[in-house]
Structure 1
Amino acid sequence: MLNKFPLWKNLLVIFVLAVAALYALPNLYGEDYAVQVSATRTTTIDNSTLEQVEQALDQAQIVPKSVVIEGDQVLVRVTNDSDQLEARDVILRALGNQYVVALNLAAATPDWLESLGAEPLKLGLDLRGGVHFLMEVDMAEAVRKIQDQLRDSVRTELRDERIRYTAVNRDGNDVVITLRTAEDFAAADSYLNNRYPGYDEVTDSDAFSIRLRMTETKLQETQDYAISQNVTILRNRVNELGVAEPLVQRQGADRIVVQLPGVQDTARAKEILGATATLEFRMVDSENSMLEAERGRVPFGSELFPNRQGGNVLLKEDVILTGDHIVNATAGFDEYQRPQVSISLDGAGGDKMSLATRDNVGNPMATLFIEYKATGDRDAEGKLVFEPLAEVINIATINSRLGSNFRITGISSQQEAQNLALLLRAGALIAPIQIVEERTIGPSLGQENINMGMQAIIWGFVMVLVFMVVYYRKFGLVANAALAANLVLIIGVMSMIPGATLTLPGMAGIVLTVGMAVDANVLIFERIREEIKAKRSPQQAIHHGYDSALSTIADANITTLIAAIILFAVGTGPIKGFAVTLAIGIITSMFTAIVGTRAVVNAIWGGKRIDKLSV
């Protein structure tokens, strides 16, 4: 008998290896030091921006490798890190704060490869360098906001229903409503019954009070919403920074991990990500005495806040609108060339603003800016304690009924207007966050990790090559060729998968795969030896060796693949990276060991009659 593959199988092997090699090729070209210029909502990237950047670099006598527009960014490639830092400073001075200028690393892939969709393998933070933030979310503040919204909603609805009440206040996680008479109590009890899902109604007919108590399910939903919404908002803020391949994900019950690979200057990232700001629009309390409030006698239903321009302002407690309804905010100048921020609201926000200002034309309305900062202390549960720092940044008389678009003025500088607009359009965080851990990995350390990982792969690869050649002779050479093809397949497949990132644990997975990849060939070759000892012909030995070992190879690899899938499903970032490369390595090694080597063996020995095998 002769061992021959049909033509389509040989073509399949060649095609798979050719595609993998093509998509693995960009990894040989490396990366360039780059400066990335991104537009904000108030600006655009066009040829004039490109010309400004080129002129600034030319005046500073910096010779870039290239300056091009890629998408909505200007990308400046330079030869070394010192030129990169100098170019960043020069571009910042030329463009000012109208653009986001960030340090980054750009792939040096040729255009013809990019036209085919081939991109280099994405490297994780530990290999590429960058910054890692671990953020903690203030869950108590998230719950407080929900309860404040419920309190305001109950007040409005009871007034609309003409049900008289003495007070509607928040008490911990409850909202307590005190009615005036028994009739009001009965009407409120009937109206509020089952009106708010997630709240249990506890009544006290003697005190004419109704307590809306948040259920545990509602509390958990609120906390999950706060985390998921903050993750979304942080992703928006990262996009504003123009960072490629960022990682923003939840970790545990109240923490968020943010990793920005390639970012070398972390000051801007920390400023934008760590800030927790929102706006509240409230009416100014012009009916009560400011002097009495400053002496400590603040009237019921009002609060005293400092004014950024100096002094204090007495505001109504009821919030007209919060920053949650802001869909866009752009910095600019008013007719007197003073900094301003133009704000656009969503539909619900526009309705609220319109309703509130309809009956307050001629009255002053204040814009309250609130920023939450950690005090450094922790509560009894070990959670960080946040302190709200609030100040009035603008007071304006309502001249007409407002809608979904308006502006705020009274901002001290254009830089402050830019930062405020960026924070507001990226989203107001549902709950304050605090950076509890910050790690910066320089590109030199990332390169050192790459070099050490590559050494581990190369030494493991070489030792396996030597062993296979010494022990299995010519068949060992075939196995070595399959091992090299397996590495190409792993890199090619990972480069093709969107979002796949190679980390240091992922390189460990590749090293492990190098050792495991020859297991299948060892089983096949040992089976061929046994068939030869059983006096079978070389062609029969090859045929039975591959067929008999197939079930054993499949069982061993499938169980390992299941373990890799479980690691990916339940593991965190580093473990997921290891699981991905391990799973891909298992699949590609089965292809190269079973299909690839048999195609080579059939091509060399399968088509002719031989008396002896070098195995």
Structure 2
Amino acid sequence: MLNKYYWWQNTLIILFIIIGIIYSLPNIYRDIPVVQINILNKNFSKEKIIINIKNKLISNKINFTKFFLNKNNNINIIFNNINNQLQAYEILKKNSSKKYIVIVKSISSIPRWLSFLRAKPIKLGLDLKGGIYFLLRVNNNYIFQKLREQNIEDLKLILKNKNILFKLKRSYNFNYKIFFKNNDIRDKTINYLKKQNNNFVNYNVIKNGLLVSMKKQWFVDLKETIIENNINVLRNRVNQIGISDAIVQRKGINNIVIELPGIQNFSEAKEILGSTATLEFHLVNNNINNVQNKNVSYYLWNNKIPILLNKKIIIDGSNIIHSNVSRNEYNQPQVNIFLDKKGGDILSKFSEKHIGDNIATVLVDYINSNKKDIKGNIIQYKKEEIINIATIQSKLNNNFKITGLKNIKEAKKLSILLRSGSLSAPIQIIEEQNIGPSVGQENIKQGIKACIIGILICIIFMIFYYHIFGIIAIIALFINLIFTISFLSLLPGATLTMSGIAGIVLALAIAIDANVLINERIKEELNNKVSIQKAIDFGYKGAFSSIFDANVTTLITSCVLYSLGSREIQGFAITTFIGILTSMFTSIIITRAIVNIIYGGKKIKKLPI
């Protein structure tokens, strides 16, 4: 029979609509603004701290809803709005001293039954939620220089073991020259060196010597490895500070973008993510007269005690697989270090040979200076600080403790940096933005306003021009919006931005356009004196090819925009893509189902279209 769906087809349509409603529901529940208080010392009384905080909030006329303890036994304060939350954060942060750490966050108000079904709200981008944006640049030259120096030291050792006399001269672009007594020695040396299987080194013959250079492909491969490792380390750091909706991705050749939606702790985020800190362990040279020795470095411990350390690194941050914070028997903070097998073996053999000697823990960081190089990049300088010196009393294994830290906050920061991994190369922040939550709220209001205005215009036009069929198209339009929202909520990694809202509005217009094509085709069939039932059937079948072709070309365009566009363009492309897919289903299938229910198999004298 014409214009009739089977019962199972109608059941499937109803089921899809119910699922769409369920997974779009979380978006009507707003996040609750919270300030979390992490108490640093377990001996402090939580009750006294809560009373103290309440008095501060009341005296500053800041309204709060309630206090509660979360599963980690941290104090949480709920506020009515974000403005009160941020005001409270600023006041409590100034007065926190060393008793507690203040963190700004939000908690979900979604009902448990929706959480059980894994229904989540759409992740909002910085322009809608507010937050922090960083653009980081990776300093590849540091690692290139380090590897060149390592290669030089290896080469020196090889030539000395072969009793070959040579003179080394560093050159440009990480290259260097080696000169020999004559060409015969040079030729013998190059034949020997080529057998060493250094795949990343080229040996070019010059007069009485060799020009040693790094292969271009090696530079390219190493750059890729460095930036991928740095991205992974930064993702780990983001996870360690408890940010779930963050975006960490590559931009261009040497840059990394980090977006932290909903986060307002700007200084703490910058300190953790922008830090290049790692640890190095050096043997203390007890002969202070060796200060002129090229193999030792001069330090001031605690800014007053002169110390000499051997330049050779025993182990560094790359050997650390885990770290955590605790307190020793004197209630002083300490960081517990756990090494990988390679680092554990190295430290074990080294400590066995140096029982009674001192070993220094050096915190190494790269700090931005106020100077720039000829390319306009900020020059970084290396800052090294001895944080601990200990005597090796017995053979060490793959875990040990670091003491000498100033406070528990410094210990936690160091632990996070070590736990998240060591950066392959230093990074510098070249652009930073702190977008307030009020800006995001205003953008959301503007986006919703644009959607409402667009839908209202469509409603007026469709009802005025197509009557009942216009109402059916509007019903399908709202269902299409529900499907689009539920898809965005379910899609892993999808983030809604202002450009994404523009894509949704465009997809709604395309959905209405599809119904206009169907309705006009039905009217055309009626003008050709075809029966009403056949006109409906021919109208849907005839318009399908036009709708399909138009939407496929738009889908292809969306794919191209997503592949080649920036983050903003990608947001527009993905919402447009999803909106078009859902519009094809609602405009063709759902409107047909409603028309079938109203008019299917019935004798109708006139169709209100």
Q: Percent identity?
A: 38
Deviation at 1:225, TM superposition (A): 1.7
User: Contact conserved, 2:180 with 2:208, CA < 8 A, in 1?
Assistant: no
Q: Does 1:266 align with 2:260?
A: no
Q: What SS does the aligned partner of 2:381 have? A: strand
Unmatched segments (≥5 aa) in structure 1:
none
Structure 2 CA distance, aligned partners of 1:205 and 1:393? 49
Q: Which residue of 1 aligns with 2:361?
A: 367
- The separation in 1 between residues aligned to 2:544 and 2:47, in whole angstroms, is 61
CA distance in 1, matches of 2:90, 2:364: 32
Q: Structure 1 pair 53/534, CA: closer, same or farther in 2 (3 Å)? A: farther
Structure 1 residues 154 and 39 mapped into 2: Cα distance closer, same or farther (>3 Å)?
A: farther
Aligned to 2:432: 438
**1:597 is the counterpart of 2:591:** yes
Candidates 196, 199, 202, aligned match of 2:198:
196
Instruction: String of CA shifts for 1:106-165, please: whole Å, max 9, x gaps.
Output: 222112211221111111111011111111121211222333444455566778x67677
Quote the residue 1:488 is aligned against.
482
SS at match of 2:321: strand
Q: Quote the residue 2:124 is aligned against.
A: 123
For 1:21-420, what aligned pairs fall within 5 Å after superposition? 21-36=21-36, 56-57=49-50, 60-61=53-54, 64-65=65-66, 67=68, 69=70, 76-81=77-82, 84-85=85-86, 101-154=102-155, 172-174=173-175, 186=188, 189-190=191-192, 193-202=195-204, 206-207=208-209, 212-287=212-287, 289=289, 293=291, 298-420=292-414
2-side partners of 1:177 and 1:360: how far apart? 35
Matched AA of 2:267: A
Q: Distance in 2 between matches of 1:459 and 1:575?
A: 23
Cα distance in 2 for partners of 1:312, 1:188 equals 44
Task: Say if 1:155 and 1:368 are closer, same or farther in 2 by CA, change over 3 A.
Answer: farther
Q: Identify unmatched segments of 5+ residues in structure 2.
A: 58-63
Q: Deviations over 1:240-273 (max 9, x none)?
A: 2212301111111111111111112212111111
CA 1:522–1:119 in structure 2 vs 1: closer, same or farther (change >3 Å)?
same
Farther-moved stretch of structure 1 (276-285 vs 541-550): 276-285
Where does residue 6 of structure 1 map in the other structure? 6
Superposition deviation, residue 309 in structure 1: 3.9
SS at match of 1:611: coil
Matches within 5 A, 1:440-589: 440-589=434-583
Paired residue type of 2:103: A
Superposed CA RMSD in Å reads: 3.3
Aligned pairs, number: 599
Q: How far did residue 287 of structure 1 move?
A: 4.6
The 8 Å contact of residues 479 and 518 in structure 1, kept in 2 or not, is answered as yes
Is the 1:33–1:80 Cα contact (8 Å) retained in structure 2? yes
* 1: CA distance, partners of 2:73 / 2:165: 56
Greater shift, 23-32 or 403-412, is seen at: 403-412
Residues 57 and 86 of structure 1: CA distance in aligned 2, closer, same or farther (over 3 Å)? farther
Query: How far apart, in 1, do the equivalents of 2:51 and 2:84 lie?
Result: 13
1:369–1:393 contact (8 Å) kept in structure 2: yes
Preserved contact between residue 82 and residue 437 of structure 2 (Cα < 8 Å): no
SS at structure 1 position matched to 2:393:
coil
- Decide which moves more: 325-334 or 129-138: 325-334
Indicate the SS of the match to 2:439. helix
CA deviation after TM superposition for structure 1 residue 383, in Å: 2.7
For 1:312 and 1:203, locate their aligned partners in 2 and report how far apart those are by CA, in whole Å.
46
Contact 1:277/1:369 (CA < 8 Å) preserved in 2?
yes
Please give the alpha-carbon distance, in whole angstroms, between the structure 1 residues aligned to 2:108 and 2:303: 48
Q: Letter of the 1:589 partner, please give it.
A: S
Contact residue 65 and residue 79 of structure 1 kept, 8 A: no
Distance in 1 between the 2:115 and 2:48 partners?
28
Which amino acid is 1:145 matched to? K
Q: Out of 473-482 and 116-125, give the one that drifted further.
A: 116-125
Distance 1:401 1:183 in 2: 45
Deviation at 1:53, TM superposition (A): 6.1
1:37–1:74 Cα contact (<8 Å) kept: yes
Q: Deviations over 1:419-455 (max 9, x none)?
A: 2222222222222212111111111111000000000
Contact 2:533 2:601 in 1 (8 A): no
